[in-house]
Homo-oligomer: A and B are copies of this chain.
């Protein structure tokens, strides 16, 4: 289980923080969606997601070529509360808009 220190360290990086906030808000996203939303390189996003997965903060699910990420289902409630509080402090409008502009949304297409 992730410790508070580890969790806060994860959130101290802008890339990881915004990724997690987007996941909190959207539920599930794949790498290319985060690349588009954050306008960062694919290897960079991929590495940060790897760290988050290794720490048990997010979990992945391969769907064909795409890998979908979401917050770990067993993330402690205090961690969820922290993310919701941080969401109040961060305006994701611009990032969400970039998601809306995508012509292909693998995470939505995959919704059963």
A: residues with CB less than 8 A from B are 4-6, 8-9, 11-14, 17, 76-79, 81-82, 84-86, 88-90
Contacts and interface: CB of A to CB of B under 8 A. Distances in A.
A25 to B, nearest CB: 14
B76 A4 contact: no
Contacts of A77: 88
Interface of A is mostly: helix
A12 B17 contact: no
Q: How many copies, total?
A: 2
A85 B86 CA distance: 12
Given A5-B12, A12-B12, 17 more contacts: A4-B11, A4-B90, A5-B11, A5-B13, A5-B17, A8-B8, A8-B11, A8-B12, A9-B12, A77-B88, A78-B88, A81-B82, A81-B84, A81-B85, A81-B88, A82-B85, A85-B85
A15 to B, nearest CB: 10
A46 to B, nearest CB: 21
Contacts of A9: 8-9, 12
A17 to B, nearest CB: 6
